[in-house]
């Protein structure tokens, strides 16, 4: 009888652990996206700025701002997708508004663009 209850307990544990699986997220936005710009400053010469978004499958990500290869700012962000519109919100930055973008694919690159067609980032 003891073996029977032990067997039932093991089956119960296995069934309970299978119920808590996180659904797999294969959204095409998952990955690294970047935007580059170079400005010429009279004081320091050329300043290369790179904005980088790293999207993960848990609807979260990491946002970096790099100048001349050094990280000057980083924070986490949340993202969601509704009707092919991605909303990226930055809870760590009080004065930054959420970005609303759509993914556009062409033969040579994939971009995230706002409603006006301005490119926010390019897939790497």
CA-based nearest residue to 103, from 116, 80, 122:
122
Q: How far apart are the first and last CA of the chain?
A: 61
Quickly state the pLDDT bin for 13 (edges 50, 70, 90). Answer: confident
How many domains, in total, are found in the chain?
1
5 in any annotated domain: no
Q: What is the pLDDT of residues 67-106, one digit of tens each?
A: 988 999 999 999 999 999 999 999 978 888 999 999 999 9
Question: Taking the model in full, what pTM does it have?
Answer: 0.77
The range of the structural domain enclosing residue 119 comes to 27-123
1 in any annotated domain: no
Give me the phi and psi of 88, to 5 degrees please: -110, 115
- CATH number for the domain including 85? 2.40.128.360
CA-based nearest residue to 88, from 68, 111, 58, 59:
59
106 in any annotated domain: yes
CA-based nearest residue to 27, from 63, 93, 100, 79:
79
């Amino acid at each position: 009888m003891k073996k029977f209850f032990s067997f039932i307990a093991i089956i119960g544990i296995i069934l309970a652990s299978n119920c808590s699986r996180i659904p797999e997220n294969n959204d095409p936005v998952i990955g690294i996206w970047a935007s580059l710009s170079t400005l010429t400053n009279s004081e320091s010469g050329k300043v290369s700025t790179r904005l980088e978004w790293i999207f993960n499958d848990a609807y979260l990500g990491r946002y970096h701002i790099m100048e001349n290869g050094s990280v000057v700012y980083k924070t986490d962000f949340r993202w969601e997708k509704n009707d092919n519109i991605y909303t990226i919100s930055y809870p760590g930055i009080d004065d930054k508004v959420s970005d609303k973008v759509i993914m556009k694919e062409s033969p040579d690159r994939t971009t995230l663009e706002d409603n006006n067609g301005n490119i926010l980032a390019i897939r790497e």
